[in-house]
Structure 1
């Protein structure tokens, strides 16, 4: 059994303490409080009492962070060049993106949002395939079953219900797979989030809900979304553990998420993890973040950059030198070149695909519409 408990993490304590209060007026309206769990501070120093993950794992994690950062940079550039329709960058959130995939086994599932391209690539999916949807194609670009990665979901929180369903089905079949369900702070305001958490807790589904709290639902700040002391505090209402972790601390993330996955796999039920992080780039290329946040705010969070933090720790530990950094940078450039070449390839468009996956047996109306389209295309080609 994993070590996620009130003794080992600053998880939400029982609301039973409210019964001991003399009156409701004594209760804190913000509910239970807890601190942010951190293992590495902004300077890369080991803080607190939690054990540092093995240096080899941290070094591999740093390499993955370098690739994730380069993917964000390269893909954002492709949007500006008009070779991609849109790209929701996760720059600044790479620690959460990489950590959530690194703790999963091959038999586990990842349920991502539209902003989790780096997490899917860290799972081993070809980034060119991941970007297929963002080019405006009709499908997600990769085989979800082969990779155990669900299609990226644009509507907020809808994929969380699907994630719980997959996890519950695995339990019914006697499998020990775990589902990592990703969402942002804005998604926690959706009814789908509540339904997913409630169902998962009631049925003990092996799900880890990772909320990447990047402080804004497009332009709406967290303070205008929730009055709770943290999003992890919402876990108490569902009867599951809630952990608030520094989302820019890769060491803390792998520790907490690894324990949560182990707990779920062992039958301990779901866990809600809130990663306290920040979206450094605009919401998408269509967004102007200067309308709702200041340059000073962004600069403060850039000082907490997850790559800078882990790099400082590894250099101090003697595990990262110029040779490794050069190798990691070269690998990132090779990946970026692959992305550029892949995205530059023109997709083959077949208009008749509009009718290919609507019904297993096409209806008379669809057959008629397809015939009309075929006739028009034949006329254009004549």
Structure 2
């Protein structure tokens, strides 16, 4: 497994994924992760207070998402799963856009074309096929953009992901498959769902593969940069298996204490991606105390802005559910909308 930054903050060398580690790079990655976690924590609080219908935390997976996103070009297209808010923030997607779907005020929160970041896919693994199809289009257009798609270890057991791996290899699609192996597919551990690691299975499909410490933001950044460069040059599709851990439940409807031991969670807490990078920065003297104070203040502002954005979202009209059901106006949908409008008037 490729690792550049050990859990104790010690910087190591790895010839398979070299990286020029600079103070600027480390400070930027730390800022991205800290702010993403603070947003995630505030969204969880809002859900617990009844302001969001559901929330899926990215707690513990910030390095996998930030490290990979910062290795891409702005023009590269990303297909997420449903807990990639750290990745989404790297593309500038706002707190309001990230929460709108979970507050139930829109069908999806943002314009994917604007951010080159697709809307969330709640059906396990379907985004892998979407990404592959889009990547085939990129190749046919003659562009040199790369497509990256995120999915979890649970989704890797779905047919859609395996079909996408095979299709991408056969079509030579410029796509990077990024598996955040967070050890648990809801309550099913990886040991109960796969007999061989995913990065080894990928080779059988004809993909290049990497196995990386997903809590090491520097290693993830290096591996993703190398994979994207290879694909961009015309190399085969790549699969990256990033070993990380879902510190929270699968969602706010899940109680992980029912199926995993506290000792396991504590062991992974010692591998926290934010703590290890901060340790490195402090040990090397790459940031003054003012940097950390300013980052804490910025985190507070992110939390306040997140709460304000959530509570200020306008309530949608009941008939909004009929919008965008079909590309062109459908007579049946129009009739249903008119019935709803008439019914609403009887309640006034």
Question: Could you tell me the TM-score, scaled by structure 1's length?
Answer: 0.87
Q: Indicate yes or no: 2:338 matched with 1:362.
A: no
Q: Per the alignment, in what secondary structure is the counterpart of residue 331 of structure 1?
A: helix
What is the root-mean-square deviation in Å for CA atoms of aligned residues?
1.3
- Contact 1:311–1:320 (Cα < 8 Å) also in 2: no
Q: Indicate yes or no: 2:5 matched with 1:40.
A: yes
Distance change >3 Å, CA 179–CA 361, structure 1 → 2: closer
- C-alpha deviation, 1:320, in angstroms: 2.2
Matches within 5 A, 1:51-130: 51-52=18-19, 53-130=21-98
Q: Per the alignment, in what secondary structure is the counterpart of residue 44 of structure 1?
A: coil
1:283 pairs with one of 250, 253, 256 = 250
- C-alpha deviation, 1:307, in angstroms: 0.6
Q: Per the alignment, in what secondary structure is the counterpart of residue 82 of structure 1?
A: coil
Q: Indicate yes or no: 2:339 matched with 1:372.
A: yes
- C-alpha deviation, 1:370, in angstroms: 2.1
Matches within 5 A, 1:1-382: 36-50=1-15, 51-52=18-19, 53-228=21-196, 230-381=197-348
- Contact 2:3–2:216 (Cα < 8 Å) also in 1: yes
**Worse-superposed segment, 207-216 or 113-122:** 113-122
- Contact 2:85–2:98 (Cα < 8 Å) also in 1: yes
Structure with the greater alpha carbon radius of gyration: 1
CA distance in 2, matches of 1:83, 1:354: 20
- C-alpha deviation, 1:353, in angstroms: 2.2
Residues matched between the structures, number: 345
Runs of at least 5 residues in structure 1 that lack an aligned partner in the other structure = 1-35
- Contact 1:112–1:149 (Cα < 8 Å) also in 2: yes
**Worse-superposed segment, 294-303 or 65-74:** 65-74
- Contact 1:158–1:192 (Cα < 8 Å) also in 2: yes
Question: Could you tell me the TM-score, scaled by structure 2's length?
Answer: 0.96
Runs of at least 5 residues in structure 2 that lack an aligned partner in the other structure = none
CA distance in 1, matches of 2:313, 2:113: 26
**1:10 corresponds to:** none
1:249-269 alpha-carbon deviations (Å, 9 max, x no partner): 011000000111111111112
1:39-78 alpha-carbon deviations (Å, 9 max, x no partner): 1111111224344432311111011111111112111111
- C-alpha deviation, 1:221, in angstroms: 0.3
CA distance in 1, matches of 2:326, 2:191: 44
CA distance in 2, matches of 1:223, 1:111: 27
- Contact 2:61–2:214 (Cα < 8 Å) also in 1: yes
CA distance in 1, matches of 2:283, 2:300: 26
Distance change >3 Å, CA 324–CA 347, structure 1 → 2: same
CA distance in 1, matches of 2:322, 2:56: 29
**Worse-superposed segment, 148-157 or 261-270:** 261-270
- Contact 2:96–2:310 (Cα < 8 Å) also in 1: yes
CA distance in 2, matches of 1:139, 1:345: 18
Q: Per the alignment, in what secondary structure is the counterpart of residue 5 of structure 2?
A: coil
